[in-house]
Amino acid sequence: MQTTIRQRFENIDYLDIALWVLRIVIIVAVLWGTVATILDNPYSTEQWLDFLIFGLAQGSLYALIALGYTLVYGVLLMINFAHGEFFMAGIFTATVFVAIPLDASGFTDRHPIWALLVIAVVAIATSMGIAVLTERVAYRPLRRAPRLVPLITAIGASFFWQYFFRGLYGSGITAFPDVALLKGSWTILGLEILKSQVVVIVASVLMLIGLYIFVMRTRMGKAMRAVSEDKDVAALMGIDVDRVIMITFAVGAAMAGAAGVLYALMYRQVHFFMGFFPGLKAFTAAVLGGIGSVPGAALGGLLLGLFESVGPCLFLEGLGITSPYQLKDVIAFTMLVLVLLVRPQGIMGERLAEKKA
């Protein structure tokens, strides 16, 4: 149907106009900054590539954590704000009980691969255990409550685990012991890349692919998708819905546990508050990609990581902002707000309004 210009004007409301103005202002600012940066060119090609690789590594961590948000949202339409704590609990425990003793005994130097495997297994198992416990004790009894109730409970659970582990392992920053095997860098296609970043990117991509296959191809994956569409009818198929929900939490937490190990390899430190910002960023990534969508979480994570690492220098430097890198969090959360304003269903998501009811 053709709409005349007049009709179009009549249909526009002020919020739309405000949104358009906002979009235009941001696009102009970004373009201006980008052009100015390029003309000025304060960084070398190597430096740009460094930003890019770092962004990819950071983004793949976000993607791994974002999967937990997206899977749980898919089956329960609930945002599990305690997910960042699952990420923290695994690697914090594995650092205190495995990484540090193994390093002190010299085992890590002698058998680095085995040491990393044990660390990963303990971290992943702890994350899964905490997630399953949280689901069973705090969320399952509220399954039929209004949606705001589990949301608030999740925030409570998040605080609970933060202070639980703070009480258990202390409030200081604990150094994650260096793994000699992963120190230094490799030269790949003429580029010097930190070994730890290569490991992070490769491991994350493999896990993302594995999870996608799990969800699309396996019996349990299909059951998860069935439960996310219609719980009553899933039960009529002989699916134990409570069990599927528990497994969904466990799978998401396994990804978070693995992300915790990779995080420790990259940043070489852990602490009780470490789940907060990565959790929030990963949530942003999940919303950006379209919460509920597995490929969306992966894409959202990578995009967010790239924007955060390349964005400050590319967009902001040219605007005359000094030390723009400190503003990377601003970029991340500006993106969250923009996505919510402009495309609330995210890049690959469907409209939330349709899914509810």
Partner 1 sequence: MPMLEVDNIHTYYGNIQALKGISLTVEEGEIVTLIGANGAGKSTTLWTIAGLLKPRQGKVFLEGEDLAGYKAHEIVYKGVALVPEGRRIFAKLTVAENLDMGAYHRSDRAGIAEDLERAFTLFPRLKERRSQVAGTLSGGEQQMLSTARALMARPRLMLLDEPSMGLAPVLVENFFETIQEINRDGTTILLVEQNAHMALQVAQRGYVLETGAIMLSDTADGLRQNPMVQKAYLGME
Give residues in contact with partner 1 (CB under 8 A).
219, 222-223, 225-226, 229-230, 232-241
By beta-carbon proximity to partner 1, the closer residue of 191 and 216 is 216
Nearer to partner 1, 117 or 233 (CB): 233
Distance CA(123)–CA(117), nearest Å, equals 10
Query: Which residue lies nearer to partner 1 by CB, 13 or 354?
Result: 354
- Report residue 149 CA to chain centroid gap: 24
Residue 171 C-beta: closest distance to partner 1, Å: 44
In angstroms, what is the minimal distance from the CB of 64 to partner 1?
A: 24
- Tell me whether residue 241 or residue 338 sits nearer to partner 1 (CB atom): 241
Q: What is the C-alpha separation between 146 and 93, in angstroms, rounded?
A: 34
Task: Output 234-242 pairs: Cβ under 8 A, ≥24 positions apart.
Answer: 242/140
| Distance in Å, CB of 222 to partner 1, minimum | 6
**For residues 289 and 324, which CB has a smaller minimum distance to partner 1 in the complex?**
289
Shortest gap between Cβ of 225 and partner 1 (angstroms)? 6
What is the Cα–Cα distance from 313 to 292, expressed in whole angstroms? 32
Give least dist CB 242 to partner 1, A: 9
Alpha-helical regions (H) of the chain: 5-11, 14-40, 45-76, 83-94, 100-104, 107-110, 112-134, 148-169, 195-217, 219-229, 231-236, 241-267, 276-289, 294-311, 328-342, 352-355
